[in-house]
């Protein structure tokens, strides 16, 4: 067997090995650079897409109007309604002023007139027949305190009005605050103020017929429950 003799010097062989290693490294670096370049291009495309989406969302935001004024207005309206609800809850049932006014006008005689009616409705504990209140388990009902101001020709008619109102079970605790003489269209009249208590629960049921009073020529309509026509 004939052996092969390598006549190339050692430094040349070492240089060839280094050159091959350098070629491999350059090839790997080219592949890595290509991959990195492709990733950079893909990321730039993705960034441009994100910028486009951002611009589209910004455009849509500019098209949406500011809802803060509407929200603030709705909040004010809600607060107003809540305040009204609390006020109605505190006031309780409302008093039918037309029914109260009709009840009083039915008892007016000719020459009398009402100038002002004021009412204050509040819940009060129910009293027993002896006037006591069950402190352990009190029951409440709506009671109205009515103030009536009007004019009459004389004190006799005022006294008759108080008597008729006292006979009506709807009115209790009547009191005459004052009567005084005033001048109205060059005529002397008596202005009066009467206070009374009204049980509003009675307004929801038919009022009992008042005690019979002698008929007078000046108020034939009062006994029939009608409002007299002033002449």
**Structural domains of the chain in order of their starting residue, each with its CATH number:** 97-203 (3.30.70)
Six token digits for residue 10:
């050692």
- What are the strands of the beta sheet with 113-125, ordered from one edge? 113-125, 140-152, 187-199, 171-184
* pLDDT of amino acid 11: 83
* pLDDT of amino acid 203: 60
8 Å CB contact between 168 and 61:
no
* pLDDT of amino acid 192: 92
Q: Name the H helices within the chain.
A: 10-63, 68-91, 97-105, 155-167
Any idea which residue has 């009022």 for tokens?
A: 207
Whole-model pTM over 0.85: no
In the predicted model, residues of the chain with pLDDT beneath 50 are 207-231
* pLDDT of amino acid 200: 67
8 Å CB contact between 121 and 141:
no
């Amino acid at each position: 067997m004939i052996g092969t003799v390598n006549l190339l010097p050692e430094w040349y062989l070492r240089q060839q090995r280094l050159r091959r290693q350098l070629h491999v490294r350059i090839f790997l670096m080219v592949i890595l650079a290509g991959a990195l370049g492709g990733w950079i291009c893909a990321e730039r495309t993705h960034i441009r897409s994100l910028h486009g989406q951002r611009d589209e969302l910004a455009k849509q935001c500019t098209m949406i109007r500011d809802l803060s004024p509407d929200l603030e207005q709705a909040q004010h309206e809600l607060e107003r309604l809540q305040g009204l609800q609390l006020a109605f809850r505190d006031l309780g049932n409302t008093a039918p002023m037309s029914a109260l006014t009709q009840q009083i006008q039915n008892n007016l005689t000719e020459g009398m007139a009402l100038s002002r009616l004021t009412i204050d409705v509040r819940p009060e504990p129910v009293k027993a027949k002896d006037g006591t209140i069950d402190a352990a388990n009190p029951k409440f009902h709506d009671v109205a305190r009515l103030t009536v101001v009007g004019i009459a020709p004389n004190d006799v008619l005022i006294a008759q009005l108080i008597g008729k109102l006292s006979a009506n079970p709807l009115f209790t605790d009547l009191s005459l605050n004052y009567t005084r003489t005033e001048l109205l269209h060059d005529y002397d009249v008596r202005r009066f103020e009467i206070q009374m208590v009204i049980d509003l629960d009675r307004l929801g049921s038919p009022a009992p017929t008042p005690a019979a009073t002698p008929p007078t020529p000046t108020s034939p309509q009062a006994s029939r429950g009608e409002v007299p026509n002033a002449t």
